[in-house]
Chain A
Amino acid sequence: MTVAQTATTAPELVLDDVTAGYFDHDIVLDGVSMRVTPGKVTAVLGPNGSGKSTSLRVLSGFLVPRQGAVRLGDEDITHLSPGERLARGVAVLPQGRSVFPQLTIDENLRLGAWQLRKDKARLEDAVEAMLDRYPILRPIRSKPAGALSGGQARLLEFARTLILDPKVLLIDEPSVGLAPVLVDEVYEELGRLKEEGRTILLVDQNVQAAVGLADYVYTLAYGRNHLEGARDQFAGELDSLIKQWLSL
């Protein structure tokens, strides 16, 4: 269990020339394209309102684009629900707290493995594997998740997202709303996922940390593609980028 997908088995996730918005007359994304390369960490950066989170919503299936397509390998998944995408190996770690607070840790994990519900043995194995991976959760597994501290809850969210051993991980603002001490822990965990060779799309406001992890970086501005390139091309430009965004 939890042997990470290697680059050769993971398909490429592609956002192809997508236009999208929340109301029938607004445009939040205007012809945005990006690729999530197998086995690599792809970071999406940009100032407020540039369309980062909306791109992730389109990739995860919460927002159907008006134009353009989302593809996983050879398959067009533009109109698939988040659940159907999960079944194909695309898992999402949403922004902010997303545990079910009144459910126990155990139940939270089991719901993460909801798609295994017809295979009791595999479900139990998956839960055990996650409790092995995050041993801090094991002794408190029957406590309600609402009682967890911010850091513990984040680990539970990681566990719930990883429990089906997804091929592609979509991670939205992993450190937002966390105490500074915990932020480092979160990026440590992300580093571990990178070492395991997982395919990750990281949408982040923490530019330094994200670029530190990323293999490839996209930046968005006003809902359009702005810059893109390998990490090395960005490392030197960070300060000027941030200054530019702050003045927007």
Chain B
Amino acid sequence: MQTRLEAPAVEPRLISQEHQRPAVTAAGLGHRFGELEVIERLDLEVDTGEVVGLVGPSGCGKSTLLELIAGLLDPARGELAVGGETDAEARLARCAYMPQRDLLLPWLAAIDNAALAARNRGASVSAARAEAAPLFSRFGLDGFERSKPSELSGGMRQRVAFLRTLLAGKPVLLLDEPFASLDAITRAEMQEWLAQALAAERRSVVLVTHDVEEALYLCDRVIVLSARPAIAVTALDSPTARRHPREDAVASQGFVELRAQALRALKEGRR
């Protein structure tokens, strides 16, 4: 599990010319599905290389927010830009979205699942595999390249799904409850693993979760959202936690105070 990741495994494709701008900006963002108000009004700024967590009660529109950023939906109100671009297709080109479920294709081997984006960009099977192969050993998946998803454990499936997201080569990673389906022990392991993976990758990350501890541990900044229709209740800075082993980080005085603040904010936001 303790893989050291110093250099980025995958260089994002659009980052060089855009690294000065904030990766994601939203101003007065609002959305509804028919009569249902999902997001009331949200301002958000994610700097390049920053990891921002969004925490809120279930059904508060967190996933909708990620779909909006990813360009899978267009906002009903307000402004939204990724890498300075507001167009949905341009947002789609800059964002890699890791959905809640791993959504691995059951008929493809793990490596072909991970290499899906390269195949979509026209790479041959062998070229796409060659691109993905080095990451398998790096991410603790050595020897499982040719395994079918059904032969992998839950944690491994999530890692393959994360690899697939990473290999899309986008500057912005959108992670939607990446570990919600895992048991508590695997989840803690995966959080440490993701902390290390993120330390090596120069990506801007928006992480959605309902787990306050996960958000505070992994993210530089955590925004607490209210119940639907969502507004931001508070923002907490927690930039250093993920540089330490998880059990030390979550036990530190500062972390415990932050967690208490976050939980209070969540309660406030329940309305």
Partners in one complex: no
